[in-house]
Amino acid sequence: MADALRIGIAGLGTVGAATIRILANAANELAGRAGRPIVVTAVSARDRAKDRGIDLSGMVWYDDPVEMACRHDIDIVVELMGGSEGTARAMVEAALDHGTAVVTANKALLAKHGPDLARRAESHGTTIAFEAAAAGGIPVIKALREALVGNNIRRVSGILNGTCNYILSRMEAEGLDFQQCLKAAQELGYAEADPTFDIEGYDTAHKLALLTALAFGTEVDGDAVYVEGISGVTPLDLEMAEELGFRIKLLGVAERTGAGIEQRVHPTMVSRSSQLAGVMGVTNAVAIDADPVGTITLVGPGAGGGATASAVVGDIVDLARGNRVATFGRPSNELDKPIRAPMQRHEGGYYIRLQVMDRPGAAAIIATRMAERGISLESILQKGRDARRTANGSVPVILITYATTELLIRNAVAAIAEDGVLDGPPQVIRIER
């Protein structure tokens, strides 16, 4: 058997501790699969005295993870600290400059600096493995980077944030409002004290940017992702979705179009008969539409110490076997510069909820503004008009459109607002049929 692979781990939170636990508990089995022992020889974290429920004896402790990354007696550096700048970035760069392979779960770092880090890795003859950075325990990175290389990928879409999926699932099942479900998610540990990164879609956007680069052979372009969160979704929206045969999910969608590559994150109405619609709670799912394989859907736990650590250990074993793949699937100089498809060019059906002043002529104004822009309406619904009338005398009106463009919808809704018939901001949710 070959010499031991020596690991240095920076970040001993939930995922870091779970990674050490797996490597220790399955040491013999992993050695057999990797063809060599895998040993954690060094660690780094902010609090040396904290009890993490793991045995750190025999491991060298480094207060400075950058110093650890510069050691020549460490073969792989595992970065589990998080953050797109600061210590995490400095440590990864230091490791790559020493020709040391990096395993990371840091989606924010790669979404912002992925192209530069990939070039740095190649210039020093090493690579970055990041299965844990998107969809937790689901092996979607490996699928895109390796298993599906013989396919022309047309579209990647998925539920990439367990917090949002839990909130929407519970809102639908129990008829609760957003704030009630967010509080429950925080109490259960599914949402952070400051949940903005999750509920406003940024976490999903970072993951989507990585999947897009792998799917289409482009440089990571995190700034190109259009982002909306779920904080504006109401119980009425979920009720109407069910009545119309849909379920609302926060989706990340990357698609090659005639205008370029579309990257978007937003609440979406998906058919209740689709596989993504059936994914509830904190579970994640990714659907990949490719030729010739067709559409495949990967479903599994998207977060949590065990699921994420599973992905980290998978990357470590791959590297132990000598399986080194270019960070984004092909050499950096062969990655295309992405052509951004403007969100305004997006085409599809739309659900529009308007809080309309209940007075003569209001409905005619709405219909006129839509018709002026060539938007065809599939249906107009007033659900529980009297029961839902507000103190201001407004009622909810639901519009379902046939396929049209984002630009026309935005222009029409803005024109309706200018006509003074609305009592509050409109809700616009895209429909994926």
- Give the active site residues: 207
Q: What CA–CA distance (Å, rounded) separates 192 from 179?
A: 14
Tally of CB atoms within 10 A around 61: 11
Q: What is the distance between the alpha carbons of residues 376 and 256, in angstroms, rounded to a whole number?
A: 26
Rg (CA), the chain: 24
Q: Which amino acid is at 207?
A: K
* Closest alpha carbon to 81 in 71, 68, 70: 68
Which neighbouring-strand residues pair with 280? none
Query: For strand 60-62 and strand 152-159, is the pairing parallel, antiparallel, or unpaired?
Result: unpaired
- Give helix then strand counts, H and E, for the chain: 14, 17
In terms of Cβ atoms closer than 10 Å to its own Cβ (0-12, 13-18, 19+), residue 260 is middle
Residue 427 DSSP SS3 = strand
Inter-residue contact 120 to 95 (CB < 8 Å)? no
CA 14 to chain centre: 19
The label of the residue with tokens 């400059």 reads 97
Q: For residue 7, what is the DSSP state?
A: E
User: 173 - beta bridge partners?
Assistant: none
Reduced to 3 states, what is the DSSP secondary structure of residue 143? helix
